[in-house]
Amino acid sequence: MGLRLQMAKLWNRAVRVKPKMRGKYDVLLDLGCGMGHFCKVLRRHAGYVIGMDIYLPSLKHAKKTKEFDDLVLADILNPPIRRDRVDCVTLFDVVEHLQKRDAVELLKSFACTVFLSVPKVDFSNRLYAYLTKNRFENHRSFWTTEDFERLRFECEVRHPPLWLRVFPNQGSICASRIV
């Protein structure tokens, strides 16, 4: 493993907070699945897990986890999947990579249960984008609990252990809309 990828993994581990989920679903769609960091959590909650991402190197890494039943290379703003066949959608550390209006439209387009998380701090993520050579890693929007509450999501702020905190006020907003 190259030094860049090792540094990227350390950075990723330092700023991510384990997502919060509940329930059991037949088909779960993980939009922006990336390298599959949360696939073990997803597997515990679904019979069939589909990972979707726009960045092929991340999907290749996710395939190695052997946790996803299917992996799809696609733009999550226009997922090539029948939305009525999905019971649950997850977007962990994803919506901040989209323009806010696009993310709002995407979230409104699903009539099923949705779980998501976003960083609580506003940072550009340029270092991680550089380390992974993934231009899609740049952040394009910043979110607050009020933004998600307007979309009828319940929110909780979660923090990593003190020894992993890199930024003051670090943590994630975990939001859910249970249908």
Which domain, by its residues, includes 41? 3-177
Does 126 score more than 90 pLDDT? no
With cut-offs at 50, 70 and 90, classify the pLDDT of residue 23: very high
The string of pLDDT tens digits covering residues 90-112 is 999 899 999 999 999 999 999 99
Looking at the 3D structure of the chain, how many domains does it have? 1
Q: Per mean pLDDT, which range of 23-32, 48-57, 115-124 is the poorest? A: 115-124
Q: How far apart are CA 144 and CA 154, in angstroms?
A: 12
Which residue has tokens 């949360």? 38
* Model pLDDT, residue 163: 54
User: Which residue is it, tokens 């997803």?
Assistant: 42
Phi, psi of 10 (to 5 degrees): -65, -45
CATH code of residue 167? 3.40.50.150
Backbone φ and ψ for 68, nearest 5 degrees, come out as -85, 140
- Amino acid type, 151: L
* pLDDT one-digit tens code per residue, 153-162: 999 988 766 6
Percent of the chain residues topping a pLDDT of 70: 77
Residue 100 confidence (pLDDT): 96
66 or 123, which is more confident?
Answer: 66
Closest CA to 44 of 72, 63, 21: 21
What's the confidence (pLDDT) of residue 14? 44
pLDDT digits (tens, 9 = 90+) for 49-66: 999 999 999 999 999 999
Is the predicted pLDDT of residue 7 greater than 50, yes or no? no
Predicted TM-score (pTM) of this structure:
0.82
Give the pLDDT score at 161. 62
Q: What is the mean pLDDT of residues 76-83?
A: 92
